[in-house]
């Protein structure tokens, strides 16, 4: 359903004016996700091509390795991140 881009530890300052929210706390669902939203999520699984991040909307989003800042490597399972929704696919 989502491709996420960007990766920062939750709680670490990012772009000024960015509003990072918890989907579950804000009542966001798969159907109300929008491109460009910044969400807080937890890495649930790491695979060769990236990682899957639970942002609290029923299905994990993919953070593709090409969207991760070069030189940082893939995050560990359990790491809490700020991610931006790049695309939504409800199929």
Q: What is the pLDDT of residues 46-77, one digit of tens each?
A: 999 999 999 988 889 999 888 887 788 889 99
| pLDDT for the residue numbered 91 | 77
**In the predicted model, what is the mean pLDDT of the chain?**
79
- Secondary structure in 3-state letters for the chain: CEEEEEEEECCCCCCCCCCEECHHHHCCCHHHCCCCCEEEEEEEEEECCEEEEECCCCCCEEEEHHHCCCCCCCCCCCCEEEEEEEEECCC
Work out the pLDDT band at 6, boundaries 50, 70, 90: low
**Residue pLDDT, tens place only, 29-39:** 878 888 888 88
pTM: 0.76
> Of 85, 91, 84, 87, which is closest to residue 7 (Cα–Cα)?
84
């Amino acid at each position: 359903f989502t491709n996420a881009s960007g990766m920062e530890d939750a709680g670490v300052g990012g772009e000024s004016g960015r509003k990072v929210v918890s989907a579950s706390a804000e009542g966001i669902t798969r159907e109300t996700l929008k491109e460009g939203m910044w969400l807080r999520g937890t890495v649930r699984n790491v695979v060769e091509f990236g990682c899957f991040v639970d942002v609290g909307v029923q299905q994990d989003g993919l953070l593709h390795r090409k969207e991760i800042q070069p030189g940082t490597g893939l995050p560990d399972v359990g790491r809490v991140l700020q991610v931006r929704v790049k695309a939504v696919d409800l199929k």
